[in-house]
Chains A and B, each alone.
Chain A
């Protein structure tokens, strides 16, 4: 596609529920990143994929968070037993190779609200 797309744009769920957030990167981009952004803050790194594998998952806050990218394109961020503190905008970005000089292109984000 022309840019990074994310679905859904908004997700409201109840505490304790399971959610999946989807990211469709720019075609041909091997690197994919998930970030989380709280109001008034910069994005916070969660996980980085190079192809199908998670090259760096050091930003995942705990084991309730998990992400996959089985075919090296679309990625899904999965959150189990959601908590109110998980409420944030979840951003996905992709870049061509993941090299240091590559630009990361961001999707519009999924606004997650946990009631």
Chain B
């Protein structure tokens, strides 16, 4: 089967760094994506890792290790506006590159 595991909730302090982990099990892995979703809002694309290693985009970085079926999203210099749910999603090459989603991690930021 296909599944993704990520923590349900993470709490951090404003200005700090937080890492959200994602492990996956899928039949046709074709890259790991991360999306941010504020309450009542649309999922917004953050980053994509097709190959092993680190991708950096401003305060956000994402890492992938295909051999470990593992990735993470790193958020630096946390701001209150970063309070949201973060989803990892795998592209499935055996299913028209559908996105298979984790259940999401709710990031709570305290001042």
> Interface residues, chain A, CB within 8 Å of chain B?
4, 33, 35, 40-45, 48, 55-56, 58-59, 91, 93, 98-109
- The chain A residue sitting closest to B87, CB to CB, is A42
B98 contacts A56, CB within 8 Å? Answer: yes
Q: Say yes or no: is B84 at the interface (Cβ < 8 Å to chain A).
A: no
- Complex CA distance for A4 and B4, rounded to whole angstroms: 27
Q: Which residues of B contact A56 (CB under 8 A)?
A: 95-96, 98
Given A40-B104, A45-B100, A100-B31, residue A58 in contact with residue B43 (CB < 8 A): no
Q: List 25 A-B contacts (CB under 8 A).
A: A35-B99, A41-B103, A42-B89, A42-B101, A42-B102, A42-B103, A42-B104, A45-B100, A56-B98, A59-B98, A91-B42, A98-B96, A99-B97, A100-B31, A100-B93, A100-B97, A101-B50, A103-B45, A103-B48, A105-B45, A106-B35, A106-B42, A106-B44, A108-B41, A108-B42
Q: Give chain A nearest CB distance to B82 CB in angstroms.
A: 19
B98 contacts A48, CB within 8 Å? Answer: yes
> Interface residues, chain B, CB within 8 Å of chain A?
4, 30-31, 33, 35, 41-45, 48, 50, 87, 89, 91, 93, 95-104
Q: Which residues of A contact B45 (CB under 8 A)?
A: 103-105
Which applies to chain A's interface (DSSP): helix, strand, loop or mixed? loop
Given A101-B48, A104-B45, A106-B44, residue A43 in contact with residue B99 (CB < 8 A): yes
Q: Which residues of A contact B87 (CB under 8 A)?
A: 42-43
Given A42-B89, A100-B30, residue A55 in contact with residue B96 (CB < 8 A): yes
Q: Which residues of A contact B35 (CB under 8 A)?
A: 106
- The chain B residue sitting closest to A50, CB to CB, is B96
B42 contacts A41, CB within 8 Å? Answer: no
- The chain A residue sitting closest to B43, CB to CB, is A106
**7 tightest A-B CB contacts, nearest first:** A42-B101, A106-B42, A100-B97, A56-B96, A100-B30, A106-B43, A108-B42
- Complex CA distance for A30 and B35, rounded to whole angstroms: 21
Q: Which residues of A contact B98 (CB under 8 A)?
A: 33, 45, 48, 56, 59
